[in-house]
Chain A
Amino acid sequence: GQQVMQIPQYQHVQEGEDFTTYCNSSTTLSNIQWYKQRPGGHPVFLIQLVKSGEVKKQKRLTFQFGEAKKNSSLHITATQTTDVGTYFCAVPFGDYKLSFGAGTTVTVRA
C-alpha cells in the first residue's frame, strides 16, 4: 500500500502544553484521514482532509493538509489527559482502501 511516515513516533507532553505531529508522503495524496486509538481500544475516525491547504478544527485539535497535498499535521493545544493515545494518519490506495501510518503515541504528564 501507499507509504506514509509519521513523526515523531512518540510524543511525551506536559499537561497544558501544545504539540504537533506530522504525516508525510512521497507522493501527492487525494485525501488524508486521521484516526485516534486509545490504549487498549480501537481506531476511531477523527477527520478527513481533501483540499490543498485545508484546515479543520475540532475543539483543541487542528488538522491541516499541506499545499502540495503531500503532508498533513495535527496540532493539539493545551494537552489534556484525555488526549492520550495513538494518532494515525491514513491515506487511500487502490480502490476504497486505506493504508495506515505507524502512528504517533502520545503520553501526558500531569
Chain B
Amino acid sequence: EAGVAQSPRYKIIEKRQSVAFWCNPISGHATLYWYQQILGQGPKLLIQFQNNGVVDDSQLPKDRFSAERLKGVDSTLKIQPAKLEDSAVYLCASSRRDRWNEQYFGPGTRLTVT
C-alpha cells in the first residue's frame, strides 16, 4: 500500500510570509495528525483530525496556524505569517481508528524561515 505523501519536501521562506503544506494519508486511515519536529526534539502534536472533523487542536498556535481536512482525505496546514521559530520539520501521520497508536508518518516538509 502507498505510504503517507507530503509536499513540498523543502521550503524556504522569509519571516512574515505564508506557507502551506499538503498531506495525503494512507487510504482508509480515518485519523490524520500534523506534528512539528524541531531539530533534536521529538514530534509535537499540532492538530488531530478524525475523518474531516477536528478532534484536538489545543496545541495549534491558532493566531498563525490553520489546518483543514476536506472530504476526510487530504489535509493542508498553513502558517501565516511565519516566524523564525517556525523553522522545523512538519510531519503528517495517519492511522486506523482502531489502531491509532500505530501511526504512519510521511517524509515531512522541512521549513526554513529566514
- Residues from chain B with a CB closer than 8 A to the CB of A45 are 102-104
Q: Is B56 an interface residue, CB under 8 A from the partner?
A: yes
Let me know if B55 and A1 touch, CB within 8 A.
no
* CA of A99 to CA of B59, assembled, Å: 12
* CA of A32 to CA of B50, assembled, Å: 22
Let me know if B101 and A31 touch, CB within 8 A.
yes
- Residues from chain A with a CB closer than 8 A to the CB of B59 are 1
Known: A42-B106, A42-B108, A90-B101. A95 touches B43 (CB 8 A): no
Total interface residues on B, using CB and 8 Å?
A: 25
- Residues from chain A with a CB closer than 8 A to the CB of B48 are 96-97
Checking B31, B44, B100, B105 against A44 with a beta-carbon cut-off of 8 angstroms, the contacting residue is: B105
Among the stretches A12-20, A57-65, A100-108, the one at the interface with B is: A100-108
A24-41 contacts to B (CB < 8 Å): 31, 33, 41
Task: Kindly provide the distance from the CB of A54 to the nearest chain B CB, expressed in whole angstroms.
Answer: 15
* CA of A96 to CA of B33, assembled, Å: 10
- Residues from chain A with a CB closer than 8 A to the CB of B100 are 96
Residue among A31, A43, A99, A100 with the highest chain B CB neighbour number at 10 A = A43
Task: Kindly provide the distance from the CB of A65 to the nearest chain B CB, expressed in whole angstroms.
Answer: 14
**17 A-B contact pairs sorted by A residue (CB < 8 Å):** A33-B101, A42-B91, A42-B106, A42-B108, A43-B43, A45-B104, A48-B101, A88-B42, A88-B43, A90-B42, A90-B101, A96-B48, A96-B55, A97-B45, A100-B42, A102-B42, A103-B41
Residues in B lying within 8 Å of A, measured CB to CB: 31, 33, 40-45, 48, 50, 55-56, 59, 91, 93, 97, 100-108
